[in-house]
């Protein structure tokens, strides 16, 4: 038995000793993808042994009476899972992208503890502009926006000292401005970076694109219709995403036509 298989065995043995217990396997497709197409190399043989051990241990949990162990796997590639592993997970739950209300909360959470010049109305607008963005995408937007005032200070050639003794970047024409860069400031603790503004976040939304595309989401919905379950009406979501995907395809065709000098008015608004 290899080291990886021993670790899987030890994990499940520890869970049995410490139950009730939850075993959470993130990116389970990395070890649980379909065995079809695997060659005979040593690397693939090792993965195959690891997968076999995982299948056996999950089955052991299923066979236990009054078990206090729950095994949870997470993946964004459900169609790649080995059917034998998929069958052992009795519930296959689709967690969709955050809706508008959830996105509002995600913006609030990511901005918590940050000095910002943002209103509730701004957050409502951010949520509307980020349809099809994941929670991770929204985190990237905020991190990008947080860096904008920092970049402004790093690129500034002029700074001034305010009445409260802090040092802030400024323009050349401002009163008491001094030509220097950020590295010239002898007391860096006095440097004050500007607040993150709504404009900073709007600009980041424009530059940061969603990490998922309509075809991927369609595949998740179709997988759920075939094998899974969801608290959300996947049929309605399927229709909405499919329409968006068609609009995007139409826009691609329109762009190609422009490239060949066959310019026509687009029938639909550009997909964002």
Q: To the nearest whole percent, how much of the chain has pLDDT over 90?
A: 28
The pLDDT value given to residue 251? 46
Structure tokens at 100: 């508008």
Domain map (residue ranges) of the chain: 3-88, 100-207, 214-259
Q: Which residues of the chain have pLDDT under 70?
A: 1-2, 35-43, 230-272
pLDDT value, residue 110: 93
Q: What is the CATH number of domain 3-88?
A: 3.40.50.300
One fold for 3-88 and 100-207? no
- Please tell me the distance from the alpha carbon of residue 12 to that of residue 70, in angstroms, as a whole number: 11
92 with 229: CB under 8 angstroms? yes
- Strand-pairing partners, residue 191, are 167
Q: For domain 100-207, which architecture applies?
A: Orthogonal Bundle (1.10)
pLDDT tens profile 110-149: 998 888 888 999 999 999 999 989 999 999 999 999 988 8
CA distance 104 to 126: 8
**H or E stretch including 249?**
helix 234-259
């Amino acid at each position: 038995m290899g080291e990886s298989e021993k670790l899987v065995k030890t994990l499940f043995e520890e869970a049995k000793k410490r139950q009730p217990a939850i075993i959470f396997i993130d990116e389970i497709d990395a070890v649980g993808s379909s065995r079809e197409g695997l060659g005979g190399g040593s690397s693939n043989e090792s993965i195959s042994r690891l997968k076999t051990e995982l299948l056996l241990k999950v089955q052991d949990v299923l066979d236990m009476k009054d078990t206090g162990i729950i095994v949870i796997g997470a993946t964004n590639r459900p169609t790649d899972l080995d059917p034998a592993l998929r069958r052992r997970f009795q519930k296959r739950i689709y967690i969709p992208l955050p809706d508008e209300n959830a996105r509002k909360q995600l913006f609030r959470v990511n901005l918590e503890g940050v000095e910002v010049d943002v209103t509730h109305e701004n957050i409502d607008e951010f949520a509307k502009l980020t349809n099809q963005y994941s929670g991770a995408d929204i985190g990237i937007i905020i991190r990008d926006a947080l860096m904008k005032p920092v970049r402004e200070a790093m690129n500034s050639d002029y700074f001034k000292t305010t009445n409260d003794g802090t040092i802030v970047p400024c323009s050349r024409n401002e009163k008491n401005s001094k030509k220097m860069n950020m590295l010239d400031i002898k007391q860096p603790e006095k440097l004050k970076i500007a607040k993150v503004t709504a404009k900073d976040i709007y600009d980041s939304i424009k530059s940061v694109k969603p990490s998922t595309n309509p075809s991927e989401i369609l595949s998740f919905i179709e997988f759920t219709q075939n094998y899974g379950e969801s608290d959300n009406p996947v049929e309605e979501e399927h229709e909405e995403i499919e329409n968006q995907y068609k609009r995007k395809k139409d826009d691609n065709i329109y762009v190609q036509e422009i490239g060949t000098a066959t310019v026509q008015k687009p029938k639909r608004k550009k997909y964002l």
